Amino acid sequence: MIKAFLKEDTLQNLYEKLESYHDSLETLKKEKELSYQDNLVYEVTCFALPLLDDYFSDNLYSMANYLRYRSIIESCTLLSLNAESDFNKINANLLEPQYNILKYRTYNEIKPNYVNKVELQKKDEIAKELIESAIAKDSYYSNKLSIDKVVSQKFPILLGRDLLESIRFYLGYIYENIYVKSGEMIHLIDYKDLNDKYSLTFFNDVTRMLVGMINQYDWHYGIYKKEHLVKDAKQIKKVYLNESFVIKSAISKIETKYGKCFISQAFFQLTLLEKSMSNSLLKGRYYDLNTLFKIIVEWIVNVDSLTDSISHLINFNFDTEIAKLGKEEREFKFVSMKRHLITPNLTWQYKSLGEIVDEFIDSTKKTVKKYYGLSNCDFLKMKYKESQTCSHGNGFLALADDRYFEVDIELLLSINDLLKETIVKITKTFATDLDLMVEEQIMVGALDQKYTLLMNLK
């Protein structure tokens, strides 16, 4: 078990308070409009609770936690800004307009049947008018930025303030560094970064900040605690463990022949992400599953892109080709060829991540399913945009309706299908060089069993 800086009883006390605040505020927001502060504290709990779930289950090194560090820092920065008198007068009332702008940005192209197109556009226009009015009153910070520039940013509520500068000013350089590095770690861009060396340090700093936030937060409502019961919990936990065991067996075979490389480490990261999803599913933290879809689909896209590199390495005749070279040239050539297993998606250099994800979704197996009035591909693209919006501490989750906090079976089933396709594709690519047939069969069986269990959650 990883040992954190804070004592176990302090972390347990923090967890209990955060869960109490989360459940109480979730109930309260159905009855009345929450204050700016209450909304952001609620948002912090949405990211902090899954983080602590992962810590207590010895899964701190999951990539999911870097997303949570980043989001907690964003929410805590907005909380800190509220202490500034000018910001409090002008910007604190802009949390809902920002939500409406982000919602329009999420659904303006792909509209599910639960979104009212006319209302969506009308609220976006009103929100922009409120932002423009606030800019005029807050010209010290934003007189150099147009309304279009302000509303296109991740945090329109800042009215042009630089987010990194705000993090640095209110939280300090340590948290600015955590924020920047977490953003880099969320994406599987560099093989070296998969050798996790930050998570425990970041966890220590972020949990200390959370304790400070709790101590400053003036809680004045009753304590509400709800039970999170998930059907077939033991079977779900078991099938996730089976998946992890089989993937680790495949990793062992890959690393026995090729050493530690990007593909083996990416598979290892999947075992950690799967445990993060399992923790949130079993705890009933369905909003977290929506948020983690961003990381999962980007993982799938990146790993899927490696199949050509794997084939190239497997088909390269080392004995014939390298024997022709001198000793130094042989070593260089071997390392160079081995990098084909280490180099992730090169298309990231000239395409946006959103474009790459959309192209991958379009290339997946077509189905006749209709989710929320959308084709399967449009559904996945829309869920990806939702996940991107929810993966920042911007108040979106705090103001979102109940749908975000209920289990989305269609999303979980789609993730399961995508994982199955990718696992089969990668194991078949290795088929001529490594015997992964048993691992593939067991993995597919586990995913099929999980599919059945998820269907029973309906």
C-alpha distances (whole Å) from 364 to each of 6, 165, 267, 296 are: 45, 41, 20, 15
Dihedral of alpha carbons 395, 398, 401, 402, sign: positive
C-alpha distances (whole Å) from 16 to each of 181, 211, 315 are: 29, 12, 55
Contact 123, 103 (CB under 8 A): yes
C-alpha distances (whole Å) from 50 to each of 19, 66, 76, 229 are: 10, 12, 17, 16
Cα atoms in the Cβ-side hemisphere of radius 13 Å centred on 30: 9
Cα atoms in the Cβ-side hemisphere of radius 13 Å centred on 248: 9
Q: State both tokens at 176.
A: 């600015």
DSSP 5-23: SS-HHHHHHHHHHHHHHHH
pLDDT tens string 334-356: 444 444 444 444 444 557 778 88
Contact 239, 40 (CB under 8 A): no
Q: What's the burial of 113, exposed, middle or buried (CB within 10 Å: 0-12/13-18/19+)?
A: exposed
SS3 label, residue 224: coil
Dihedral of alpha carbons 208, 209, 214, 215, sign: positive
For the chain, give every domain's residue range: 1-85+172-226, 92-158, 233-306+344-455
Residue 290 CB: number of other CB atoms within 10 A? 26
Please give the Cα distance from 104 to 125 (Å, whole number): 10
Q: What is the pLDDT of residue 273?
A: 92
Q: What is the pLDDT of residue 321?
A: 56
Residues with pLDDT less than 70, the chain: 1-4, 85-86, 139-143, 188-196, 221-229, 308-350, 366-369, 458
Give the E-state strand segments of 134-221 in sequence order: none
Residue 22 CB: number of other CB atoms within 10 A? 22
Residue 84 CB: number of other CB atoms within 10 A? 15
Tell me the angle at which helices 173-185 and 199-216 cross, rounded to the nearest 10 degrees: 130
Q: Which residues contact 444 (CB under 8 A, 6 or more apart)?
A: 420, 423, 424
Q: What is the pLDDT of residue 332?
A: 46
pTM for the model stands at 0.89
Residue with tokens 């924020």: 179
Q: Which residues contact 317 (CB under 8 A, 6 or more apart)?
A: none
DSSP-assigned letter for residue 317 = -
Report the mean per-residue pLDDT for the chain: 83
Q: What is the pLDDT of residue 127?
A: 96
pLDDT tens string 249-288: 888 888 887 777 777 888 888 899 999 999 999 898 999 9
Q: Greatest CA span in the chain, whole angstroms?
A: 77
pLDDT tens string 12-48: 999 999 999 999 999 888 888 899 999 999 999 999 9
Q: Which residues contact 333 (CB under 8 A, 6 or more apart)?
A: 321, 322, 325
